[in-house]
Amino acid sequence: MSNTQIIEETIAFVKETLKGAEGGHDWFHIQRVFKNTLLIAKDEKVDVLVVSLGSLLHDIADAKFNGGDESVGPKMAYEFLTSLEVDKKTIHHVVKIIENISYKSSLESKKRFTSKELEVVQDADRLDAIGAIGIARAFNYGGFKNRELYNPEIAPNLKMTKEEYKKSKAPTINHFYEKLLLLKDKMNTESGKKLAEKRHQFMLEFLEQFYKEWNGNA
């Protein structure tokens, strides 16, 4: 099976698997990350098949929709790619990307897997968490979890551990300070950093307007 066929089969698998998924983690999220990945990869020396499969399968079974079990997604990806007879080295690399891509993984102090391919896919995923799309996704997920939009009495927790992050039920606005506004400075690649700048600025402008309207000043 050619690389093109493998990617086509993977796209079909992901579309089917994520039917009915929460709007911020559905096929369209995957599609945007896939496009971001290919854009960033143009300027990086990476294995295009690995980054393509990593981006397409990175949220195949997000832990927060699977009782917090972080092993479901990597296992599904491994089994699917094995069924396509993808070479073991590629499968291993893709699984490692899925295991290490999330923001919460970066909150752990232990040594983590690294590769240029992971950096590219991680940047692509983080780009989709900021800017206009990031704002839409944040409030969509907040609504999905029935969280407050904002509560002035609940301050953002800027020093969360991984476990605290996973259990957080804070208002959506807090998520900007606890994650979204931090992502610009956590980008790995030069392309990712450049693309993040404009999206970061858009979020700052949104927050400024949000507080004006909240306080009856606009």
Residue 29 has pLDDT above 70, yes or no: yes
Query: Between 107 and 32, whose confidence is greater?
Result: 32
Residue 7 has pLDDT above 90, yes or no: yes
The arithmetic mean of pLDDT across residues 9-15, rounded, is: 97
Residue 126 has pLDDT above 90, yes or no: yes
Per-residue model confidence (pLDDT) at position 161: 82
Residue 143: pLDDT band (50, 70, 90) is very high
Per-residue model confidence (pLDDT) at position 46: 97
Per-residue model confidence (pLDDT) at position 102: 84
Residue 192 has pLDDT above 90, yes or no: yes
The arithmetic mean of pLDDT across residues 83-103, rounded, is: 95
Per-residue model confidence (pLDDT) at position 68: 67
Residue 110 has pLDDT above 80, yes or no: no
Burial zone of 124 (CB within 10 Å; 0-12 exposed, 13-18 middle, 19+ buried): buried
Angle at 121 between CA 115 and CA 124, to 5 degrees: 140
Residue 108 has pLDDT above 70, yes or no: no
Query: Between 185 and 163, whose confidence is greater?
Result: 185
Angle at 120 between CA 70 and CA 29, to 5 degrees: 60
Residue 63: pLDDT band (50, 70, 90) is low
Token pair, residue 57, equals 């399968």
Residue 166 has pLDDT above 80, yes or no: no
Per-residue model confidence (pLDDT) at position 70: 78
Per-residue model confidence (pLDDT) at position 35: 98
pLDDT averaged over every residue in the chain: 92
Q: How far apart are CA 167 and CA 184, in angstroms?
A: 24
Q: How far apart are CA 78 and CA 203, in angstroms?
A: 36
The 3-state secondary structure of the chain reads CCHHHHHHHHHHHHHHHCCCCCCCCCHHHHHHHHHHHHHHHCCCCCCHHHHHHHHHHCCCCCHHHCCCCCCHHHHHHHHHHHHCCCCHHHHHHHHHHHHHCCCHHHHCCCCCCCCHHHHHHHHHHHHCCCHHHHHHHHHHHHHHCCCCCCCCCCCCCCCCCHHHHHHCCCCHHHHHHHCHHHHHHHCCCHHHHHHHHHHHHHHHHHHHHHHHHHCCCC
